[in-house]
Amino acid sequence: MISWLRRFLARLSGTAALPRDFRGCLEPDEQVLAVAESGGGALVATSLGLWLPEGDSPRRVGWHLLSKATWNGGVLTLIEAEESGTAGSAVLLRDRSAQRFALSSPGRVPETVHARVTGSIRSSHHRELPGGGAWFVQRRIPGRDGIVLQVRADRGTDEQALTGFASEVSERMRAVRESRRQ
């Protein structure tokens, strides 16, 4: 009954409809933006993230955890990040291996993914550090207020140097926010 209602409301509102066999559990205010079929199941782009097909239980990846997405030759390649810790209020990220999805009918998924991933980024800067460097990215997370500082290290970067510098940067950002409130 609920899936029928969602499809009906999707038609009325002009948003995409969920595939009948979709087994994910959307949040009450989560809107479906685009759907694409791949060999392993449907990719569903919503207001909160991208649902990836994983057998009988699809998994949503928040837009703020997609480090990179490319569309080439009918294949959507995604690099998902996982949170590996914190440094002050900064969230440390580590990239997972790339996942590739051959899309038989891509619809608006590639353009929606691009728009949502880039739209979540407020600023990004690369900083050289001992042994490598790191990307410092300020991102907005759908469904939450404020901006989060994410830090993704290059291979070989000294972890102590990274953690110390990221803590320093997050503290400076906090001080700036507080001074603006006063």
- pLDDT for 170 equals 94
pLDDT tier at 2, thresholds 50, 70, 90: low
Q: Is the pLDDT of residue 9 over 80?
A: no
- pLDDT for 1 equals 46
Q: Is the pLDDT of residue 15 over 60?
A: no
- pLDDT for 12 equals 46
CA gap 15, 35 in Å, rounded: 10
Average pLDDT over residues 34-51: 93
CA gap 129, 109 in Å, rounded: 36
Give me the half-sphere count of Cα atoms (radius 13 Å) on the Cβ side of residue 128.
0
- pLDDT for 77 equals 98
CA gap 137, 150 in Å, rounded: 5
Q: State what percent of residues in the chain have pLDDT above 90.
A: 71
Q: Which tokens is 150 given?
A: 């994410």
- pLDDT for 13 equals 45
Domain with 159 in it = 2-181
- pLDDT for 14 equals 46
Instruction: Return the HEC string of 141-176.
Output: CCCCCCEEEEEEECCCCCHHHHHHHHHHHHHHHHHH
Average pLDDT over residues 142-162: 92
Of 64 and 12, the one with more pLDDT: 64
> Domains in the chain: how many in total?
1
